[in-house]
Structure 1
């Protein structure tokens, strides 16, 4: 039994001297009042990003499938799980009456999620949920719908002049006429009111930048700022931003034709060279302006999965998860359950959208090794914010560079391996070494001292961040390379830093 326990601890990257499970909740950045939040402006931009955006790790969830009672009041255990994981942002699928992404308008509330009562009582329950999130240092982003309303929505009968007369059959609803000034003002006022009444931290803008385009969102954001609220808005599709969106959910536009209709379960950073992709900005652009150079904005997201996905993207593969999202220079997004590969319960029907997949946090124990490894990768991101929360004004200038490795079993075909990379800042670097080959073995890694700032004769230590073991020490002249054992399908993650500096844990 003792041998089995030690083997499990080694496999998960948890040493025998530490607890068997990792809890990252203490590493979540504290939520400060808006008056203490600094807005960071990029050159030529009129609206600044709240400084907390750099630390965002975002998970989408549907309250009906993630709650113990299908309501906001039953979300406590899920929020505790997210804090333990190290997640500090939740994107909530629509809470408006009408259900799912069909709706009755952003002024309405879905009482299946809140329980019965007056509208005021129901909105107060959403506010209580947001307060519970904030107590755990988790920010909340509400999904807002701009295409129109469902066929049975009262708004269609009350304000027929707000609609084009076009019925969208696949969405079972009527399209808004965004040329109507009254509709625009109503939408803006309700966006502002929704933030003020719930205390939420911003919006995910469904279908953005399509339908209402940028102006209503930008005006709502401007009014909120005048009222002291420093929030973020992010669009569904790759956009031109236009002082409206901080980032895009679907940042990647796949293929040479930039197919804007394809909803990716993104694997771009596995099938392309990640460093070349970042440096060139390839596949990062805007669906409403293909002439816009890719990768020129500050923030881009790596979405592993969302409610539209027909399954989890990584499927328990830590390379697909951490190499692409957690350790890369992107804001990570995934649908709740990806972090432990939530079991798929529908055995007799075709694969269904993640939107309605039941979330069973008790099933984490079935994939405990993967979940603990995900948490350890997130912990690394949290412990070294100066490296992982550095986002230059131009994403193409991100602090990522190629690392030279020599894998003995692929000496003649290194192109089949994912590109090892370094994330660096000042005198330290975190090296990310993926082994997507079918064989365990030693990598010979060349230390990229050219990326670091240090004094002649300064001694460095190479530390395995998954085990805490020091692998090698020496000056740059003495220590040029080191060997790292990486198991098949795993990541090696090492810190190169001054030897005198204590390791963060």
Structure 2
């Protein structure tokens, strides 16, 4: 059974609506003709109707109980916005990716982008010409912030209210398919960010059906999605069906599940496990893998543990601890949740295991937090130095390029890309985009707009922010967040991008860096501001020294059997540095020697490879 409007060809469409509390339902066609088609109810509360003499593009509502017209909860297209009629879509598409197989997950390099601000046009099609540049950089997986239809034409996407409808102003589902197909031709996997913990407030007509939400649990957005209460089977089918839609109809390769800590399900089979089973089934049907990657602040390894050991069986999860440990050392910020971090030893620790807090006491939370992830492979954890949340939820939306000197941007890149985890870049960071990424909306309800403004002010108060954040409703706020692609080829911006490309090359080509394993590394604080990272695989060994200070630091090194050839020095003029003063080679058997590391130094040496 397919939910929503399933166009079968030959001018025939089957409509299916799950609404067990309605006493009457009908399909109300509003264009190109006005027609009302009654629906029949089955024993599970699904309403069905087969409509003939209908073409793709026809506009329709569902009529509830003979009185109220509402858009389709499973609408695939909302051309007139969240309050307008839904559109019948013919999903026939001339795909060219029949032989597509994504790079294995442990080799992914992710690139998170927001469709509306990635290009001046802000559409799916406008991304396509940029794909070769991303591939040349070393990226092989594109992560799209949510594209489910939201109010207006500018939004981060987390206010979506039609989980099955690709945002019309981006190009709709047809534009999305063209982008996915082009990504696969270019060798890029596509990750779709999906929101299964809440729907946005404007245009959320699911509230009126009385089954999709429960007040038994509360989330930051209000009542929780009903995954374990009365009528929850239909909600679960709605969400699992949506995952299948992105995989099978739109050919996406992975889903990033937003804030799963706000998904409440105390049934014997968690909805996350059901989603993992559905992804595996899609993989068997399509003959290629599909992945689920969770965002979670729980530090809970059960998310990625297999079901045989009591886990949910997801493929990966974000590690906020890595970001927080790195950010606090680089910036010195300690407000809000950053108060739990700030010691260089914590960064060393998060290289050795994915979480700093693994059932350790959290001063910010005032309780013990997390659990030990030592039985989970390192490649199941996604790390970054920047992402949409950590940048955009700042009052002024500053990227690291607005907080740090240029050499420290290279250090931040190296800290992430030389880690044993899956790296994710946030659009523009590779060339140090100076524009902010701000929070923006285009709601139509004045009371809601004012509520968002006030809510943001209260949020920033926890971080002791001074000054006024830009108005999220203003179109200027949105325009000020758009990337300046021309910068990536000039001056220090181009040098930073080249540095990212070189780091990604080393990550691919040096076996010690390509092997994502916490057991094959050591991370040690060897001076007050210097972290030494050692990684190995068979005969290949790599040592990295990183100086997290604005002053030079001296370390005494004993690299061991060599020779050790210098692979990268951030001070090299090619990367915008003042010139390397480090030796090209550390000789086999040499006595311990002092190395003077410049401010924000990154030095990479390798043994078991040619110079």
Secondary structure of the structure 2 residue equivalent to 1:463: strand
- Tell me the CA shift for residue 170 of structure 1: 6.5
- Tell me the CA shift for residue 136 of structure 1: 2.3
Q: Is the contact between residue 266 and residue 302 of structure 1 (CA under 8 Å) also seen in structure 2?
A: no
Secondary structure of the structure 1 residue equivalent to 2:486: helix
Alpha carbons of structure 1 residues 300 and 352: separation in structure 2 relative to 1, 3 Å: farther
1:297 is matched with 376
Secondary structure of the structure 1 residue equivalent to 2:111: strand
Q: Is the contact between residue 285 and residue 295 of structure 1 (CA under 8 Å) also seen in structure 2?
A: no
Secondary structure of the structure 2 residue equivalent to 1:244: coil
1:91 is matched with 143
Residue of 173, 178, 191 corresponding to 2:227: 178
1:218 is matched with 276
1:400 is matched with 522
Q: Is the contact between residue 68 and residue 75 of structure 1 (CA under 8 Å) also seen in structure 2?
A: no
Indicate yes or no: 2:343 matched with 1:343.
no
**What is the count of residue pairs matched by the alignment?**
417
Q: Is the contact between residue 342 and residue 363 of structure 1 (CA under 8 Å) also seen in structure 2?
A: yes
- Tell me the CA shift for residue 487 of structure 1: 2.9
2:504 is matched with 378
- TM-score under structure 1 length normalisation: 0.71
- Tell me the CA shift for residue 229 of structure 1: 3.6
Indicate yes or no: 2:188 matched with 1:138.
yes
Secondary structure of the structure 2 residue equivalent to 1:465: strand
- Tell me the CA shift for residue 68 of structure 1: 3.2
Distance 1:82 1:267 in 2: 35
1:244 is matched with 313
Indicate yes or no: 2:125 matched with 1:73.
yes
Distance 2:217 2:200 in 1: 9
- Tell me the CA shift for residue 376 of structure 1: 2.0
Alpha carbons of structure 1 residues 391 and 128: separation in structure 2 relative to 1, 3 Å: same
- Tell me the CA shift for residue 355 of structure 1: 8.8
2:487 is matched with 363
Secondary structure of the structure 1 residue equivalent to 2:149: coil
Residue of 494, 498, 502 corresponding to 2:605: 494
Secondary structure of the structure 1 residue equivalent to 2:293: strand
Taking the TM superposition and a 5 Å limit, the aligned residue runs for 1:105-254 are 105-114=162-171, 122-153=172-203, 155-156=205-206, 159-164=209-214, 171=221, 175-179=224-228, 180-211=232-263, 214-227=272-285, 228-237=287-296, 238-239=299-300, 240-241=302-303, 242-252=311-321
Indicate yes or no: 2:344 matched with 1:271.
yes
Residue of 460, 465, 479 corresponding to 2:568: 465
Taking the TM superposition and a 5 Å limit, the aligned residue runs for 1:401-440 are 401-402=523-524, 414=527, 416-440=528-552
CA RMSD of aligned residues (A): 3.9
Distance 1:402 1:62 in 2: 37
Q: Residue deviations 1:355-383, cap 9 Å, x none?
A: 98211111233533333222222221122
Distance 2:241 2:354 in 1: 36
Distance 1:296 1:269 in 2: 26
- Tell me the CA shift for residue 153 of structure 1: 3.2
Q: Is the contact between residue 284 and residue 294 of structure 1 (CA under 8 Å) also seen in structure 2?
A: no
2:418 is matched with 327
Alpha carbons of structure 1 residues 355 and 345: separation in structure 2 relative to 1, 3 Å: closer
- Tell me the CA shift for residue 70 of structure 1: 0.8
Distance 1:464 1:192 in 2: 44
Indicate yes or no: 2:423 matched with 1:312.
no
1:45 is matched with none
Structure 1 residues not aligned, in runs of 5+: 1-30, 38-50, 115-121, 256-261, 405-413, 450-458
Distance 1:205 1:346 in 2: 21
Taking the TM superposition and a 5 Å limit, the aligned residue runs for 1:24-35 are 33=99
Distance 2:520 2:507 in 1: 15
Q: Is the contact between residue 283 and residue 294 of structure 1 (CA under 8 Å) also seen in structure 2?
A: no
- Tell me the CA shift for residue 141 of structure 1: 0.4
Structure 2 residues not aligned, in runs of 5+: 1-96, 265-270, 304-310, 326-334, 360-364, 439-466, 573-579
- Tell me the CA shift for residue 79 of structure 1: 2.3
- Tell me the CA shift for residue 439 of structure 1: 4.1
